[in-house]
């Protein structure tokens, strides 16, 4: 992924569209479009920035300035500074926290112009950190410019870590702790309960935190929980008393 910054169109004869193309071989008008700016004003110094991901190796960068049907021959451009920065995004971080836990996300390196995409919410030119209360699985993307003028992109996939009980007491008949209740079950989960001989005692393709064992012999059982959205498995033992 690359970025272009410091591109100054100057003394354009007519307002029009500025197109930046890249090509593996020397060619005109058929390279992949890396960036496009509409209605560029004439006779003004302006700075343009764009981020793009190339489809093939780029050996040539060239510009087109177009105005409607008059094709690409009605403007002139002076490139004062053309800068290509190679960008390697940070690997996606997969994080898991208990339901309702507050967490701190922050930029890895110092920089400025921090843009956050937190689920469906976009925060432009915001703080270098965010405090989140985790009540759902959520994807977070942070983009900003480092102090040495490189574009940085960091991504986080944050999961709710379910809290699964290891003991329930339906056989003491006091109406307390009778249900196999999973705290933080925020996505569809398939639950299977097995006895020590591998026989299925209970199963549900979409568990709703509603299993209360009836006439189940006290002892140690085994559970398998599969969370379908995040494709995570959880295994453990369950004591029934």
> 155 and 89 in contact (C-beta within 8 Å)?
yes
Task: Please count the structural domains in the chain.
Answer: 3
CATH of the domain at 212: 2.60.40
Helices and strands in the chain, H and E counts: 0, 18
Confidence check: pLDDT of 56 > 60:
yes
Percent of the chain topping pLDDT 70: 72
Q: What are the phi and psi torsion angles at 169 (to 5°)?
A: -130, 60
Confidence check: pLDDT of 87 > 60:
no
Domain limits for position 190: 167-240
Confidence check: pLDDT of 238 > 70:
yes
> 177 and 169 in contact (C-beta within 8 Å)?
yes
> Based on the domain organization, do 176 and 227 belong to the same domain?
yes
The whole-angstrom separation of Cα 210 and Cα 178 is 10
Average pLDDT over residues 176-185: 95
Confidence check: pLDDT of 34 > 80:
no
Q: What are the phi and psi torsion angles at 18 (to 5°)?
A: -100, 125
Confidence check: pLDDT of 165 > 50:
yes
> 34 and 48 in contact (C-beta within 8 Å)?
no
- DSSP reduced 3-state for 189: strand
Is the Cα dihedral 32, 35, 38, 39 positive or negative? negative
> Based on the domain organization, do 157 and 106 belong to the same domain?
yes
> Based on the domain organization, do 200 and 232 belong to the same domain?
yes
> Based on the domain organization, do 18 and 64 belong to the same domain?
yes
Return the pLDDT at 39.
62
CATH of the domain at 142: 2.60.40.10
Category of 215 on φ-ψ map: left (φ > 0), alpha (ψ -120 to 50) or beta = left
> Based on the domain organization, do 11 and 68 belong to the same domain?
yes
Return the pLDDT at 33.
80
DSSP assigned state of 95: E
Confidence check: pLDDT of 2 > 50:
no
């Amino acid at each position: 992924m690359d970025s272009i910054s410091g591109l100054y169109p100057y003394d354009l004869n007519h307002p029009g569209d500025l197109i930046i193309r890249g090509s593996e071989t020397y060619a005109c008008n058929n390279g992949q479009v890396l960036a496009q700016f509409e209605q560029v004003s004439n006779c003004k110094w302006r700075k343009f920035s764009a981020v793009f991901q190339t489809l093939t190796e780029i050996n040539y960068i060239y510009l087109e300035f177009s105005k409607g049907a008059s094709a690409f021959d009605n403007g002139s451009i002076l490139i004062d500074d053309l800068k290509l920065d190679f960008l390697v995004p940070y690997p996606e971080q997969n994080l898991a926290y208990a339901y309702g836990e507050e967490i701190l996300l922050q930029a890895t390196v110092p920089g400025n112009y921090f843009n956050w995409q937190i689920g469906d919410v976009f925060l432009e030119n915001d703080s270098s950190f965010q405090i989140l209360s985790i009540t759902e699985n959520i994807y977070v993307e942070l983009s900003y410019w480092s102090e040495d003028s490189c574009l940085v992109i960091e991504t986080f996939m944050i999961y709710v870590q379910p809290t699964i009980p290891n003991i329930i007491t339906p056989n003491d008949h006091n109406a307390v702790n009778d249900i196999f209740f999973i705290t933080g079950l925020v996505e569809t989960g398939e639950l299977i309960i097995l006895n020590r001989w591998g026989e299925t005692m209970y199963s549900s393709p979409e568990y709703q935190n509603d299993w209360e064992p009836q006439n189940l012999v006290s002892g140690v059982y085994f559970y398998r929980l599969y969370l379908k959205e995040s494709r995570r498995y959880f295994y453990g033992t369950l004591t029934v008393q």
